Structure formats: structure tokens, C-alpha cells
Amino acid sequence: MTDMAPIIKPGIKPDIKPDIKPDIKMEIKINGRKIVAREGQTILGVAKENGIKIPHLCFHPALKPSGSCKLCGVEVASPSGKQVVMLSCILKVKKNLEINTESVLVSGHREKSFNKLLQMAPDSTRIRNLANEFGVAVTPPPNGCIRCRLCIRVCNEIVKARALKMVKTEEGSRVMLGEGNCIGCGTCANLCPTHTIQVNDQESVRTISIKGQIIGQLPLEWCEGCGKMYATANFLKHVAQSTLNHPDTKEHHHLCSSCIKLMSNRALNEGEHFRK
Ligand code: SF4
Ligand code: FES
């Protein structure tokens, strides 16, 4: 008969720790606390058994450790006596080994390791939550803004609402509410090359926001032609005021751009008809 794979019954764990010798015990110290460990155990395994938390992401009990994420670093004295960081998912217990999981050295190592992982996966909530759980300050996720200032420039130079400005924060420069008031024209969103600024028209209200930060929230007006919501009252008022003395201004209307086009086409056709 050929060798058969062991049958794993539900509720019975496979032997995934073949290196551990339960009979050979030794004392180690973690954070000054004396702990009895079994030969072959990893520091991460001993810590877990004893309720000592160490962050880790690439460790899986059914697989050999790979040491990829580097989050599980702990402080240990090297043979030369120097304190160094070693990966607890790989480091095996040794008699009288002294481990520190909360030292300054470990905190620095964790911060570096978390930020390195976040460079590869900036939106990972799992990594961010884990960093938060261990009190590690990590760089915030990028919001998509490339600091081109098109939104601010158009709002200042053309719309003249001065609703946006660039503010230096701990997390870098960010577009924020300026000294003026947003009139809800949406020009900033139209120009934004990365779609960081969003316009959302819902239930007769227009909301302009930058990744959740609301810049303006204004009621919308209906087009007198087709009845669609098309512009904010503040924007229409702003246009009326700013074009009041313009020589080309004829009369102010409440029509969307499609209806204006229709009206001018009609006027054109009627004019032609009249000329015939
Ligand atoms: S929000 Fe958009 S338009 Fe404004 S600075 Fe950032 S990328 Fe440029
Ligand atoms: S758990 Fe990822 S390196 Fe140890």
C-alpha cells in the first residue's frame, strides 16, 4: 500500500508545528516577564500564547515563515551585546533569551515597516487599522491631488469666488476652503486633471467636495426650458451680476446650455425662413 495523506477530521488541527519539542522547556523573558517556552517555538508563537501582541501580516501558521512584511520585529541582544531588531516569526527561542517588544528601537522599526508597506498598498485598511492598533503614526493615504492649483487659479482669476486655497498641513499641502464662498459653478471640478474635486447633484442640491471634505453645498435651479436641474442659484446670480454692464448682455434667462442651443438654432432658422 502506498503512503496516504493524513485525514484531517473537522475540528482537529493538522500538526503544523512539527519543530516544536514539547518536552524540552526553557525560560525566556519577554518585556521583563519570565515565560516558559518549548524548544522549536518562535518568539511570535510564544508571544501569542502568552497574550503579548506583536503586529504581523505575512505569517500564517500553516506555512513556513517568510519574513516579508517585517512588522513582527522585536528587540534582542546580539551575540556582541548590541541591541538589534530581529523578526519574531523566524527567531526561535533560546535559553535565557531576553526580548523587548515595546522599545524605542522596535517603535522606529515598526514605523518604517508600516510605511514601507503603505507605499505599496496606500489604501489598505487592514494595514492602517493594524498600525492604529499599535499606535504607529503612518503617512495618510494620498488624496489624488497633484498640487497643480488649477482649481484655485480658476476660482480666483476667472470665477472670482476665491473659494479655494492651498494650505500647508502636517500631511503636506492640501486644497482647502478659501476666504470667499463657493458658488457651486463646478469649474474647479471640470479643470481638475485627477478628478480629485467632485460635483454631486442630488435632490436639488449640488455638493462640491475634495475626497469627502465639502467645499460647497448649494441648492440647484431648474431650467425653464426642459425642467432639468442645471445650475445653482448663487452661480446664476453671480453671472447676472458680473455681466450686468457687458455690451453683449441682452436679457438674463434661466435656461440650460442645451436649451440655449435649441433656442438659438430656432432663432437662426426662423431668421432664414424670414429672409426667404
Ligand atoms: S484638486 Fe485637482 S485641480 Fe486642484 S490642485 Fe489638486 S489636482 Fe489640481
Ligand atoms: S510576520 Fe511578516 S516578517 Fe514576521
pLDDT number for residue 150: 98
Q: What is the pLDDT of residues 6-28, one digit of tens each?
A: 444 444 443 445 677 778 899 99
- Ligand 1 atom with the shortest distance to the CA of 150: 3
Ligand 2 center–CA 213 separation, angstroms: 36
* Residue having the nearest C-alpha atom to atom 7 of ligand 1: 145
pLDDT number for residue 1: 38
Across residues 241-246, what is the average pLDDT?
Answer: 75
* Residue having the nearest C-alpha atom to atom 8 of ligand 1: 148
- Please state, as a whole number, how many other Cβ atoms lie within 10 Å of the Cβ of residue 115: 15
Mean pLDDT of the chain: 88
pLDDT number for residue 66: 95
Dist. CA 69–CA 73, nearest whole Å = 10
Q: What is the pLDDT of residues 95-127, one digit of tens each?
A: 989 999 999 999 999 999 999 999 999 999 999
Nearest ligand to residue 42 Cα:
2
Radius of gyration of the chain (CA): 32
pLDDT number for residue 250: 64
Q: Is the pTM of this model over 0.85?
A: no
Ligand 2 center–CA 12 separation, angstroms: 26
Encode burial over 129-153: b for 16+ CB neighbours within 10 A, e otherwise.
ebbeebebebeeeeeebeeebbbbe
Dist. CA 3–CA 6, nearest whole Å = 9
Nearest ligand to residue 198 Cα:
1
pLDDT number for residue 245: 74
With beta carbons less than 8 A apart as the criterion, state whether 75 and 103 touch. Answer: yes
Q: What is the pLDDT of residues 176-206, one digit of tens each?
A: 999 999 999 999 999 999 999 999 999 899 9
Distances (CA, A) of 128 to 60, 200, 272: 20, 28, 67
Three-state DSSP class for residue 232: strand
Q: Which domains does the chain show, CATH number per domain? A: 21-133 (3.10.20.740), 150-266 (no CATH)
Q: What is the pLDDT of residues 211-232, one digit of tens each?
A: 888 989 999 999 989 988 889 9
pLDDT number for residue 207: 95
pLDDT number for residue 17: 59
**CA 74 to chain centroid:** 28
